[in-house]
Amino acid sequence: MRDSDLINDVLAVMPYAQKLGVTPHLDDDRLVCTMPFNENHIGNQQLPALHGGSLASFLEITAILQVARAQAAIQQIETIEAGRAAFPLPVNVTVQYLRSARALPCHAEARMLKVGRRTSTGFCQLWQDDESKPVASMTGVFIQPKS
């Protein structure tokens, strides 16, 4: 199964990814996800700043996609069936908010710290217009349920 097919299958079973408008971009082996700006994502109207919940959800989605790619490679997963998906589930997620997220699109990339048959640990970073200035980061442990 191609990475792009796997990513689309996982996104199809995550309705909140569609609600946030998350789009994946594969360039060689690098997966970067984008969440477009949406007025509904604003948490502080005075700044305006994006709500931490939408940022955390976006980070989690990005990490799940990267974990799914890594675990599919070691388990030779061929397909994710919509509605009965055995895609990675978060066990523990810690988000660090580093600066206010402005009314701009967000981008995130996850990298794997440890990939196992049953659990994996990943780190994800979110930025807006400058990748060297992260807005938030997340460390998470994910489990791969048996299909």
Per-residue pLDDT at 47? 82
Q: State how far the alpha carbon of 134 is from the alpha carbons of 95, 108, 117, 126, in Å.
A: 12, 9, 30, 6
Per-residue pLDDT at 91? 96
Average pLDDT, the chain: 89
Strands 89-97 and 49-50, how do they pair? unpaired
Task: Name the percent of the chain lying above pLDDT 70.
Answer: 90
- Chain centre to alpha carbon of residue 8: 13
pTM score, whole prediction: 0.91
Interval 45-61 mean pLDDT = 92
Per-residue pLDDT at 73? 79
Interval 80-102 mean pLDDT = 81
Answer yes or no: is pLDDT of 79 > 60.
Answer: no
